[in-house]
Structure formats: structure tokens, C-alpha cells
Structure 1
Amino acid sequence: MKVLIVNNGQIDEKFVKTIVERHDTVIAVSEALKKLMDLGIMPQIAVGNFKFMPQEDVDELESKGLQFFKFPLHKDKTDVEIAVLKANEMGAYEISLTGTVGTRIDHQLASFQLLAHPDISVPLKIVEPRFEAFAVRNRIVFDTEPGNLISLIPLSDEVTDIWTDGLSQNLYGERLICGLSRGISNKAVSPTVEIAIGRGILLVIHFLKRQE
């Protein structure tokens, strides 16, 4: 099961409608539920506190098959993390997040950190109109276009024995250290890129259109 989690950030109508069709289950996080419904999209699951929604509206949506998982406003996890754990619990073999970009930089950074969640072993990535992001723990190969920007950022204290193929500045068994900016703004030079690491967790941000 491929699960799409829609967060309450910036949502591009055309993009969301396209990626919804590629997933088996859609989870709306908090007020993203209203945004999806305004686009004519009914998710299967909604996660949040939903104090913004009258109870009669909740009851009506539940009668139509929407599952609500309500949590208090103050808790130890963000609604997005709860949604990711719920998708994993449901048996998802791939989880995608969108709507992660917005005015709250703290929530945006937390979404990137979720890619390294210790309890999630299935592929987990962020997908947005202009970029995608994922964490590498071992090896990954992905499609791109020559000229696309690709940034490599350690999510652990350091990432060792990094080997890349298909980048303008390939790494050959090298190390990236958290806090240093060496891995920013590399470029693809082939239609596919391969990245392998020895130890650590490496965040890969792949810009889907050429950035100057």
C-alpha cells in the first residue's frame, strides 16, 4: 500500500490531484483536510485535533467513511509524525509527504527530520512540486535530468564512505560532517544518480527543475 500524507502547508492543486492518483490511501493532517475537500478530494484518514471543524461536520464525514484519529493540541509528537506512524502501522510499503512547505520553518525542518525516523524502515520521502527529499541509509538510485540541483546533507553527526555516480562533483569514499555545507548544490550530469554510504543517514534534496 502506497500512502500519501498531506500536511497543512502550501498545496499546489494540480500537483496534489496528480499525486493522489498514484497512491492507495490518503491521510490528511489537521486543516489539510479542508484544503483537500475544497479540491474535491476525500481522504481515507484524517489526523489532528480538528477543533476548527464543527462536530456535525465531523459526524457527517465519518458517516461517509472518513476515519478520524483525534489527538490533543499539546503532545510529544507533531500530527505529521503521528500520521507517518499510522501509515507504517497500516502496513504501507511506501510513504510520501506533501504540503510540508509553509510559514513555520520549525515544522518544515521537523518534516525533513522525519525522513530519518528510527521506527520507519519503509521508503519515506517528501514530494513537492519543485523538489523531492529522502534519506539514504545504504544505497539509492533515482531518475533525474542533467542540470538538476542535488544537495547532500548529513542527518547524523557524520556520514562516511560516500560514493556517488552521475553528479558533476562525485564523491569517492568521502565523508560529510553535520554543520558543514560541503554537500550543497551539486548537479546531475546523467539521467540517473546513484548514492551509496557506509555509515550514517544522508538527506538528499533533489530539485525537479533546474535552479540557477
Structure 2
Amino acid sequence: MEKVIVHETAPVTLIGGGEVAVSDLREALSLAPMLIAADGGADRALYLGSQPRAVIGDFDSISEQARSTLSQSLLHLVAEQETTDFDKALRAIQAPLVLAIGFLGARLDHQLAALHVLAQPHVPPCILIGANEVVIHVVEPLEVDLEPGAVVSLFPLSVVTGRSQGLEWPVDGLVLSPMTRIGTSNRATGPIRIETDGPGLLAILPRHSLGMVIAAMLARRSRLETAQQIP
């Protein structure tokens, strides 16, 4: 069982060592004020003028300067080398939602690794925030009030089926697979609803929909928790 390092009842921001604009960090922190860093993300956070409340990783990326700047109590070493620092950090966070910045952009192999991690069975749902898009793993039905014409790309990392409403090209009855059929550059006709019959489908939505995606994911979580409390 993974050790939980961060316990929060509100969404948290997780920063990686990739490309991050100061405006991205400010927006994320306005929505999820607690900042956690994945290894070298600590350097990125300090460079942008913010201090993480915890740093999680195998510490092969964080600089000695960052380590000496931060209190040792904030540094949480996860020594195994089988997973990425993004994966390590997500598994160590208990929160209703994680906003992840600094994992898209720059190196392509790092971006692919981040998408792979996003599709893994982590406890906290996560939104990957890029310069122009946000990416989520569609585990529960996703309902977002998009404007007509908004680009909605659906990318399967495994074989998956599902249903949709509000897409110009519905996915009902289709078998999506990374080797055969993907759903790049679909378009919304208005509010959308996407649900799947299993894990593995990533939804890529416009960056400006971030607030709506957060609201939808938190509302869904709240409804599920309320339903679980009803005898």
C-alpha cells in the first residue's frame, strides 16, 4: 500500500519540472491553493516565486540549491525507480482533486509518460493542465457545458467503448482503441456528456473549460459521497 503524505479536503496543485508559465501557476493556485511539487517541480515552483508545502519523488531531478532552500521536513523521498515522479506524487496525495501543471510541453517522452500515469487507477482524480488544453481520464460520466464548436478530442489508451451526448460525431457503438480507432478533433454541439464502459479513455478539452471541468468533477464527487452516506 502506498504511503499517503498529503491529506487535504480541498483540491491541491501539483507542479512538475516541465514548462509552466507564471500565469498557469497563479491560476492553478487560485483554484487549489496548496502547492505540492513532484521532484524537480520544486525548482520550477521556487523559480516562479512559490514554495511547495511538500516535495515528493526519488530526488534525481531536484537541485541541491532547492533542497538546501527548503526545510528537510518538506522533502519526502520515494526511492523506487519503477514509476515516474508524477505517479509517485499522485499516489501519495489524498484530496478530492489534483490540478497538475508542468507535466505537458517540453519533452515528448515526458508528455507521453504523464498521459500514461493519468490513465492509472489513482485515488485522487486529476486534471492535466497544458498551455492550450486540459486532459482528464474519463472514469465517471463527464458533463461539461461547452460552447458549440469547441474541440473535444477523445484518445483511448486501451480498448474502450462508451456513449456521448452533445458531440458532432457520437461515440455510441464504437470501439475505440489506440491501434485502430481514436477520436481526435471531435466538436461539441453544446453541453457534452461522455461516459465509458471501462477505464482508458482520455478527454482533451479546451483550456478555457478548466473551471467548468473542475466544477463538474467536484460536483460528481459530492453526489457520490452523499449517495454513499444515505442508508
TM-score (norm 2): 0.76
- Per the alignment, residue 18 of structure 2 pairs with 9
Distance 1:97 1:2, change over 3 A: same
Q: Report the structure, 1 or 2, having the larger strand content.
A: 1
Q: 2:139 aligns with which of 125, 137, 140?
A: 137
Amino acid at match of 1:151: S
Query: 1:152 deviation in Å?
Result: 1.0
Q: Report the structure, 1 or 2, having the larger helix content.
A: 2
Asked if the contact 2:104/2:129 (under 8 Å) is kept, the reply is no
- Per the alignment, residue 128 of structure 1 pairs with 130
Query: 1:16 deviation in Å?
Result: 1.2
- Per the alignment, residue 87 of structure 2 pairs with 81
Query: 1:99 deviation in Å?
Result: 0.9
- Per the alignment, residue 168 of structure 1 pairs with 168
Amino acid at match of 1:77: T
Asked if the contact 2:165/2:193 (under 8 Å) is kept, the reply is yes
Asked if the contact 1:164/1:193 (under 8 Å) is kept, the reply is yes
Q: Deviations over 1:28-83 (max 9, x none)?
A: 123322222222211111123156224xx6355217xx6111345x7111111111
Amino acid at match of 1:194: R
Q: Deviations over 1:111-159 (max 9, x none)?
A: 11112212x1432221223101111134111232322211111122x11
**Structure 2 segments unaligned to the other structure (5+ residues):** 1-9, 209-231
Quote the RMSD (CA, aligned, Å). Answer: 2.2
Query: 1:2 deviation in Å?
Result: 1.1
After TM superposition, which residue ranges in structure 1, 4 or more long, deviate above 4 angstroms?
none
- Per the alignment, residue 36 of structure 1 pairs with 45
Q: Secondary structure at the match of 2:137?
A: strand
Q: Secondary structure at the match of 1:114?
A: helix
- Per the alignment, residue 188 of structure 1 pairs with 188
Query: 1:184 deviation in Å?
Result: 1.0
Amino acid at match of 2:192: V
Q: Deviations over 1:81-132 (max 9, x none)?
A: 1111111xxx2111221111233222211111112212x1432221223101
Structure 1 position 67 matched with structure 2 position 74: yes
Inter-partner Cα distance in structure 2 for 1:30 and 1:36: 11
- Per the alignment, residue 100 of structure 1 pairs with 103
Amino acid at match of 1:8: G
- Per the alignment, residue 159 of structure 1 pairs with 160
Asked if the contact 1:47/1:82 (under 8 Å) is kept, the reply is yes
- Per the alignment, residue 213 of structure 2 pairs with none
Distance 1:19 1:149, change over 3 A: same
**Structure 1 segments unaligned to the other structure (5+ residues):** none
Q: Secondary structure at the match of 2:31?
A: coil
Asked if the contact 1:155/1:202 (under 8 Å) is kept, the reply is yes
The size of the alignment, in residue pairs, is 197
TM-score (norm 1): 0.82
Distance 1:69 1:34, change over 3 A: same
Distance 1:17 1:51, change over 3 A: closer
